[in-house]
A and B are shown apart, each in its own frame.
Chain A
Amino acid sequence: MLARPLSETSALLCLLCIFLIPLAIAGIAIVNGGLGRSHSASHAMLTSISVFAVAAGTYFLCGFALQGFIGGPGRDIVVAGRSWNWLGNEPMFLRGINAYNSPSSLAVLLQLFAVGLVALIPLGAGLERWRLSASCASTVLLAGWVYPLFAHWAWDGGWLAQLGVNSGMGHGFLDVGGSGSIHVVGGLTALAVSWILGPRTGKYSSEDIPSAIPGHNTVLVLFGCFLAFVGWLGLNSAAAILFTGAPPQRIVLIAVNTTLAASAALLTTVIITGMRFGRPDVSISANGWVGGLVAGSAASPFIAPAAAVFIGLVAGALVTYSVEWFELRLMVDDPGGAISVHAVGGIWGLLALGIFANFRDPVLNVTDAAGGFSAAIAAAGAGQWLAQLVGVATLVGFVLPLSYALNLILNRFVPFRVHMEGERQGLDLYELGGGAYPEFVTHTEDFTQFRKRKS
């Protein structure tokens, strides 16, 4: 089965959109950096760029070989007379990719950025206590196995994408901009990492009461939100062209929906926090903005703008309350809000697609043997919603345990958590030997002691 070739216009537009995706990566890195304390800011940014590099390298090595692309070689298993594709079967080191105007070459480029974005998400949960080497090692597992496996199932003709033809569930599991493949995978990995690391020292009192540890630079956080927004426009548009066969004209609707979802989510968080705390909370509002982007990603080409607003409103409320729920009730220390924003927001986005999607054009679906388009335009309804539910169940029931088990084993060999002394000093000084803001040395005592020990 061959993937549908792209027209020159689509290919060019897709390429331009893909080039915007690094802004989403930069945005998330800056948001994470700003939400941590100043004594670990440099470490947070270095970890972000290192993790991106490791993710790209691992994906080049084996990630794409496992993930593959629509229409590429895959491994099938036959159950009850139906063939289910469960793994890609491309050669390693990106061999066999036609680099000249082929959808697969564009997909490789998109995936290199997407896997970098996935890898950055858990860093938000591990801020101020996750060692640089351990986070890079964990990224190898995420970018090499966990992400490619689920992304293949959802995007590249895997069994979730086949739910429509094989099981009569609408168009099969759909996740256009990566609410599930990128954000829920990253968010659930963040949850696993957070469980393994435990909370920061001093976060909870002996009576289990959390202390507020505010981020060091909210201006940076909000600037990161703006950057991420531009990247999201590119990601949602490029993925829609590549993975659902969306025509270039559809890009306008995708951009409108992405903007409306993020805006509605931000306003919801501002209003809710304003009503509850007397004034808006900057960090939760920033989380709400990104949560709206995450939730709006899955369905952006298939929904009306009013539905995007509703998705954003619910995402904003979910993020606000789940941040508090994780921190207060479950004692999960997630300084960057990665679990609430990416896992909770992403799951809502996936389910919302099943509720609000309206399919006016054929959707690219690998299960059709005649070139990759499903001939029938399935109506949104119970079938589509069930497919989305199966996808969410796979994320929670398969991806989370897999990610937790892999990271738990890795933690035995490469301890995740920095020494308590490192937490006290801050990771900048402890792991890098210098701070992000040397002119503002607030921990003079630590700094002089460190210098004395070095000399």
Chain B
Amino acid sequence: MLFAGWLIVAFAVALLPPTLVRTVFILSGVAVELLGLALAMQGNLTDTRERG
């Protein structure tokens, strides 16, 4: 999801004209990244607990 979020940002920058829609797409991409980061942190937390 980290990478997917970045792809949304990159495509918005490359393909969309400088409008509000582009800003919304960029912010959406960042939101997806934050979700991915939270999941990665949660995954590491579980992994660390399992390792003991």
Spell out A's residues near B (CB within 8 Å): 79-80, 82, 84, 163, 167-169, 195, 198-199, 204, 206, 208, 330-332, 382-383, 386, 389-390, 392-394, 396-398, 400-401
State how many residues of chain B have any CB contact under 8 Å with chain A.
29
Partner of B41, one of A206, A330, A394: A330
B3 & A386 in contact (Cβ 8 Å cutoff): no
User: Which residues of A are found within 8 Å of B41, using beta-carbon distances?
Assistant: 330, 332
Selected A-B contacts with CB under 8 Å, 11 pairs: A163-B13, A198-B47, A199-B48, A331-B44, A331-B45, A331-B48, A394-B10, A398-B6, A400-B2, A400-B37, A401-B3
Per the bound structure, the CA–CA distance linking A393 and B4 in Å amounts to 11
- A-contact 0/1 string along B1-19, CB 8 Å cutoff: 0111111011001110010
- Pair A330/B26 contact, Cβ less than 8 Å: no
Q: How far is the CA of A383 from the CA of B48 in the complex (A)?
A: 41
The answer to whether B5 touches A397 (Cβ under 8 A) is yes
In the complex, the answer to whether B14 meets A389 with C-beta atoms within 8 Å is: no
A84 and B14 in contact, given A206-B52, A397-B3, A401-B3 (Cβ under 8 angstroms)? yes
**Residue among B4, B9, B36 making CB contact with A394, cutoff 8 Å:** B9
Given contacts A80-B14, A386-B23, A397-B7, 10 further A-B contacts (CB under 8 A): A195-B40, A330-B41, A331-B45, A390-B9, A393-B33, A394-B6, A394-B10, A396-B6, A397-B3, A397-B6
For the complex, give the distance between the alpha carbons of A168 and B41 in Å.
35
Whether A208 pairs with B18 at a CB distance below 8 angstroms is: no
Task: Mark B residues whose CB is within 8 Å of A.
Answer: 2-7, 9-10, 13-15, 18, 23, 26-27, 29-30, 33, 36-37, 40-41, 44-45, 47-49, 51-52
By DSSP majority rule, is chain B's interface helix, strand, loop, or mixed? helix
Say yes or no: B33 contacts A396, CB within 8 Å. yes
Asked if residues A330 and B44 are in contact (CB atoms below 8 Å), the reply is yes
Alpha-carbon separation in the docked complex, A195 to B23 (Å): 32
Q: Inside 8 A of B13's CB, which chain A residues have their CB?
A: 163, 167, 390
Q: Please, which residues of chain B bring their CB within 8 A of the CB of A332?
A: 41, 44
| Cα A204 to Cα B6 with chains together (Å) | 34
Measured CB to CB, the closest approach of chain A to B5, in angstroms, equals: 5
Chain A positions within 8 Å of B10 at CB level: 394
Complex contact A79–B9 (CB within 8 A): no
Option from A195, A386, A401 in Cβ contact (under 8 Å) with B26: A386
> In the bound complex, how far is the Cα of B9 from the Cα of A126, in angstroms?
31
Q: Which residues of B contact A79 (CB under 8 A)?
A: 14-15
Known contacts A167-B18, A168-B18; A389 and B30 CB within 8 A of each other: yes
Q: How far is the CA of A119 from the CA of B40 in the complex (A)?
A: 23
Q: Output the least CB separation between B29 and chain A (Å).
A: 6
Docked CA distance A398–B2 (Å) = 7
Report how far A197 CA is from B4 CA in the complex, Å. Answer: 25
Expressed in whole angstroms, the Cα–Cα distance for A397 and B14 within the complex equals 16
Q: Which of B18, B27, B29, B51 contacts A397 (CB 8 A)?
A: B29
